[in-house]
Amino acid sequence: MGSGKYGAVSGMIGRMRMMENISNQLSSVNVQAYKKGTTTFQARLAEANSGMATKGVNQVRVSGESIDFSPGPIEFTGNPLNLALTGDGFFQVQRKDGSFGYTRKGFFEINREGVLTDVNGRPVMSAGGGQITLTSSDVDIAPDGNIWYEGEQLGQVGVFHFKDNSVLRRAQDSMFIPPTGVQPELLPDPQLSQKKLEGSNVDVMRSMARMTSNLRAFEAMQKALKVYDEMDRKIADLGLIQ
């Protein structure tokens, strides 16, 4: 296979991965606090096998995903245990293995023991690092996370932030996990909105435009591959001429 074919095939594979990425975004447009990701690519010039070669093969490969942590739209729900974050920060929830995950999905509820949890039953951590116990769901939650019920403070929802959000990796249920050894800090001035939820930050119209652009690029690479095939056949035919 000629070097042009390698370049075309690697480009087609990259475009297929990009289409998968866009499809995942569009399917998550209604997922609360979903953060879109962009597939990142790495260009590579592979040297020919011969040490005397003067040309290489241009290749493109997927190198990972870059997560866009820009905020989504804020939607009113009327549920007093729904919280939306404005600006930076994450809620901290305790996973089954005892580790912590971080999310901006503030759809919370109270379990049978009175502990504030996410919809999957994982405890929401307070600013002090412990669980939050409530006697009622009819509470007032201030912008700083302090929880009040009939004039009594019951706790404070913790809001944490990282110096560099790019270190976070995606997990299930709109959750993010930091690498080993990376710890967040308590956000000093959180901005919470009660009875509201953050929506997905996926822009449907822009995603559709990207999908169309990638489809056209994929089709162009298909045509290029057909041209290289035709050139190879003609060269093979010339080689048979006596």
188 backbone dihedrals φ, ψ, rounded to 5°: -70, -30
- Can you give the pLDDT at residue 214? 76
Lowest mean pLDDT among 35-39, 46-50, 59-63, 187-191: 46-50
In the numeric block, which tokens belong to residue 220?
A: 């162009």
- Mean pLDDT for 159-164 is 95
Number of CB atoms found within 10 A of residue 199's CB: 18
- Can you give the pLDDT at residue 48? 46
DSSP per-residue letters across 171-210: -STTEEEPPTT---EE-SS--EEETEEE-----HHHHHHH
* 193-236 pLDDT tens trace: 999 999 999 888 887 787 787 778 777 777 777 776 677 676 66
pTM for this one?
A: 0.74
E strand or H helix at 217, and its extent? Answer: helix 204-239
